[in-house]
Structure formats: C-alpha cells, structure tokens
Amino acid sequence: MGFAEEYAKKLTTAEEAVKVVKSGDWVDYGWCTATARELDQALAARAGELEDVKLRGGILMWKPAVFDVPEAAKHFTWNSWHMSGIERREVNTGLAYYAPIRYSELPRYYRENIAPIDVAMFQVAPMDEEGNFNFGPNASHMQAVCERAKVVIVEVNENMPRCLGGWGESVNISKVDMIVEGKNPPIAELGAGGPATEVDQAVAKLIVEKIPNGACLQLGIGGMPNAVGSMIADSDLKDLGVHTEMYVDAFVDIAKEGKINGSKKNIDTGRQTFAFGAGTKKLYDYVHNNPEMMSAPVDYTNDVRVISSIDNFISINNAVNVDLYGQVNAESAGTKPISGAGGQLDFVLGAYLSKGGKSFICCSSTYTTRSGELKSRILPVLDPGSIVTDTRANVHYFVTEYGIVNLKGLSTWEKAEAIISVAHPQFREELIREAEKNHIWRRSNK
C-alpha cells in the first residue's frame, strides 16, 4: 500500500478519533505549539462521559477546551512538564499540576519510568513524500511519546513549519493510527514582551562584553535574554553558533544580521541546533525548511556531555531570585509554581565544562509589587518552598544591572560579599545584617 492509500485509510474526524479515549486513560497532548486543537475540542465535548482522564503536555500557548468544561477537574487532570501562565492559573482549581523534571531526561522518562501512554494526540506538519509527519519546532521528546503510545493520532496543520533535523523530528505514517485534518489555524505566537528596559540593557551590556567571536549561544526565554540577543545583533561579534533548548526570536535577529554561521562549532558545524521553538511568525517562517536549522530531541540538545564538547559555549538564563548562598530559584514564587526547571541546570553545568565556556544567571536586582513596594530579588535565604534550580556550587556568573560577579570557588563569606555587591543599594545594609546573623559575613568587609 502506498502512502496516499494508507493516509486515506487512516483519515478520520476528530470526533471519531477521540472515541478511543476512556476514563482513567493517560493522554499526551503534545508540546508547546504542537498541542492538540481540533482533538482537544472534540475531547472536551465528551467530558460528560469521562472521569479521571490524565492529560499531559507543557508550555501551553492557548487555553485548551478541556479546561473550560463544567467541573473540569472531575473529568480531567492536566500534568505539565513546564508551566506557562495558562497552566499555573489552574493550579488553585485542582486541575493542573507540575511534573518536576530535568528536561534532558524527559525522553528517558517516557521510555523507562512512566506508565505507557494510552493515547497521544498532537499537531504535525503535512505528510511529506516519504510518509513522515514533521513535529514542527517541537522535536523535544515527541519521538519517545510516539514510541510509548498505544494509539497515536496526528492532527495535520498546513501552517506548521517543517523543521529539518536528522533524527527524532518526525513520525512515520506506519506508526500513526489515525489522521485528523484540522482547520489549519495559525501557529500560536509567543512575543518577546515589551521593549528592553534600562535594566535589561544594563545587564545585556555586561554579558555581551564577555562573549568572544566564535562563541556558541544558548538563550533562555524572557526580556533579559532577548535584550542580550538584540545587543549581539547590533555588535561586532562574528562566527557565532547556536545550540539551545528553546529557539527564540532573538536568534533570528542575530542570524539576519549575519552574526551566525556556526563555522566554529565542534559538532553540527554550520547548523543551529534546538529542541523546540516558539516566537512570532518571523521565527516560524525562518525555521521552515531551513537547512541551517537542526531540530533535535532534548536528550541530545540538553545533554551536558554534548554541550561541554562545544568550545566557548555561552549560556544565558533568567532567575526569579537568588540568595546569599548562591542558590538560584528560577521556577517558583515560594510554593507557587511559575514555570519549571527546564534545562537551565544542564546548560549551567555544560557551559562551565566547555573549553572557554561561561554560564550567566541574570535578573533585575529588584521588582515592584502590585501595591508599589520595591522588593529585592536577592534574599538572605530563599523563601520557604522555593525551588533550588541551580545549587550554590554550580553558578558561574551572576549578573544584575549593578554588576557581574564570578561565584565559582568562593567561600561562603566571599560569595555573600560578591552577591551583595550587585544588589540594589537600598537593600545592601539589610543583606549584610542578615549575612552576619547567618555567620557568612566578615567584619572586615564592611
């Protein structure tokens, strides 16, 4: 049977496809921009027939229909590998829960550690001439999902960009049980936020000064990494490479300025390697069928051994807050989840092991509450319930708008002194008093 005949045989409607879901099932919804849409609406229409269906996905970019059914938590549970704002708002309703991970290990979790998936349903690009459905900018862990799912349902979206890789970027029709043709909605966009603030620009300037020609870049999501990207695009840097977990708009800007050619990369020379991507339409247009791009599974992109093999690796990530011991929280506000661990620790470790590599954890020194109160992001100790994303021994460079400090190899008093030196001046004396109470401050340092 040819691919066209097999396609026609497996083609069905969303309503028919979701009939395979039973109460108590584990159902994978895909990931980020590939999250099911037509199938989600069809499953929501069946909510009254179902109980305890355990859904799994992450980085939701729109609110699924299953979230809005009456008594949603009775029928469904959402399990997130990495929370977006949409997901964390559902935590208090009892609908959504975070699944803590080390992102580089996620494919292995599927293959070895979690129960088999009853149904996997997700968006894909149209089938190619070899019978493959491309995952779009979402290779991540999707190959492992398909391997472990009892039933695989793909939802074809003609707007999904086709991202070239080498392995793990698509599923063959032979592994697919049902095909649904959706309404081809535009791929959900993730903006970079507002324009860079003065604080963002100050932090970016400090980091860019430490990036050499020929460096290989990893950028996290958020205002500061984007500000760094914009500054790199406007700099005199050249021969840059990309090996990152998440591909964001900033990379497109840098590439279009001629700064990226990947010529100095020890591996995947000439290609921009990423596990998943989300941004504006310019990103989706740029990655589509672009031979310079390399979409790859996350157990490759985030493998510390792979990262460390690339010379002059530069990792740039955000933090929620940092304490005087050098512990970094990048995923919660106390016990309240904000996002997830993602691959930050993988890149912090890998970049430091790279020849000439550097990792940067950056944040503004303060934030303002809704009531207008100025609060320090640098704390004596992390708030109760806060997650330690990067341990005190792992942080290399810590950056705020007040400076950049290297925390490697410092004793507790040296580390406290360095971190306080880049805190907002308004809070430094208070932090010194707290450091004294905790016996990590030397009197001579005053």
- 387 and 412 share one domain: yes
C-alpha 336: how far from chain center: 18
The Cα 264–Cα 310 span in angstroms is 9
Cα-Cα-Cα-Cα torsion 285, 290, 292, 297, nearest 10 degrees, comes to 90
Q: Could you say which of 181, 209, 228 is where a domain stops?
A: 181
* Mean pLDDT value across residues 345-359: 98
CA dist list (Å): 406 to 40, 207, 360, 412, 419: 47, 12, 9, 13, 9
Assess contact for 169 and 296: CB atoms under 8 A. Answer: yes
- 173 and 229 share one domain: no
- The answer to whether position 191 is within a domain reads no
The token pair at 430 is 């208070």
Q: Would you state the pLDDT for residue 75?
A: 98
- 166 and 263 share one domain: no
- The answer to whether position 253 is within a domain reads yes
Q: How many domains is the chain built from?
A: 2
- 212 and 338 share one domain: yes
Q: Would you state the pLDDT for residue 215?
A: 98
Strands (E), 95-254: 96-98, 117-124, 132-134, 149-156, 170-172, 178-181, 216-219, 241-247
- What 3-state class would DSSP assign to 344? helix
**Quick one: pLDDT band at residue 340, thresholds 50, 70, 90?**
confident
Give the sign of the dihedral formed by CA 338, CA 339, CA 341, CA 343: negative
Q: Say which amino acid occupies 340.
A: G
Query: Considering only 5-9, 151-155, 223-227, which range has the smallest mean pLDDT?
Result: 223-227
**Residue (of 101, 7, 114) closest to 54 by Cα position:** 114
**Does the structure show a pLDDT above 90 at 303?**
yes
Q: Would you state the pLDDT for residue 193?
A: 65
DSSP state of 160: S
- 175 and 226 share one domain: no
**Residue (of 204, 202, 195, 142) closest to 172 by Cα position:** 142
Which residues span the domain enclosing 81?
Answer: 3-181
The Cα 250–Cα 400 span in angstroms is 20
Strands (E), 132-215: 132-134, 149-156, 170-172, 178-181
Kindly provide the b/e burial profile for residues 226-240, where b requires at least 16 CB atoms within 10 angstroms of the residue's own CB.
bbbbbbbbebebeeb
Report the 10 Å Cβ neighbour count for 35.
23
* Mean pLDDT value across residues 353-361: 98
**Quick one: pLDDT band at residue 337, thresholds 50, 70, 90?**
confident
- The answer to whether position 273 is within a domain reads yes
- 46 and 102 share one domain: yes
Between 378 and 342, the higher pLDDT residue: 378
Q: Find where tokens 């360095």 sit.
A: 418
- The answer to whether position 189 is within a domain reads no
- 408 and 274 share one domain: yes
**Residue (of 34, 38, 91, 21) closest to 60 by Cα position:** 34
The Cα 297–Cα 104 span in angstroms is 9
Q: Would you state the pLDDT for residue 277?
A: 96
- The answer to whether position 35 is within a domain reads yes
* Mean pLDDT value across residues 294-317: 98
**Domain harbouring 371, CATH code:** 3.40.1080.20
Q: Would you state the pLDDT for residue 311?
A: 98
Q: What percentage of the chain carries pLDDT values higher than 90?
A: 90
Q: Could you say which of 118, 152, 181 is where a domain stops?
A: 181
The Cα 200–Cα 101 span in angstroms is 29
User: Pick the catalytic residue: 105, 155, 245, 331?
Assistant: 245
- 211 and 163 share one domain: no
Task: Please give the mean pLDDT across all residues of the chain.
Answer: 95
Query: Considering only 122-126, 298-302, 441-445, which range has the smallest mean pLDDT?
Result: 441-445
Q: Could you say which of 130, 156, 181 is where a domain stops?
A: 181
Assess contact for 66 and 79: CB atoms under 8 A. Answer: no
Q: Would you state the pLDDT for residue 192?
A: 64
- 159 and 270 share one domain: no
- 105 and 172 share one domain: yes
The Cα 348–Cα 352 span in angstroms is 6
The Cα 309–Cα 205 span in angstroms is 27
**Quick one: pLDDT band at residue 443, thresholds 50, 70, 90?**
confident
- 280 and 166 share one domain: no
Tell me if residue 245 is catalytic.
yes
DSSP tally for the chain: helices H, then strands E: 16, 25
Query: Considering only 88-92, 143-147, 418-422, which range has the smallest mean pLDDT?
Result: 88-92
The Cα 128–Cα 164 span in angstroms is 12
**Does the structure show a pLDDT above 90 at 258?**
yes
- 15 and 127 share one domain: yes
Q: What is the CA radius of gyration of the chain?
A: 23
Q: Say which amino acid occupies 298.
A: V
pLDDT tens per residue, range 407-431:
999 999 999 999 999 999 999 999 9
- The answer to whether position 300 is within a domain reads yes
* Mean pLDDT value across residues 113-142: 97
- The answer to whether position 377 is within a domain reads yes
**Quick one: pLDDT band at residue 225, thresholds 50, 70, 90?**
confident
* Mean pLDDT value across residues 42-66: 97
Beta-strand relationship, 11-12 and 96-98:
unpaired
> For 8, phi and psi rounded to 5 degrees?
-60, -35
Strands (E), 193-296: 216-219, 241-247, 272-277, 293-295
**Domain harbouring 24, CATH code:** 3.40.1080.10
- The answer to whether position 210 is within a domain reads yes
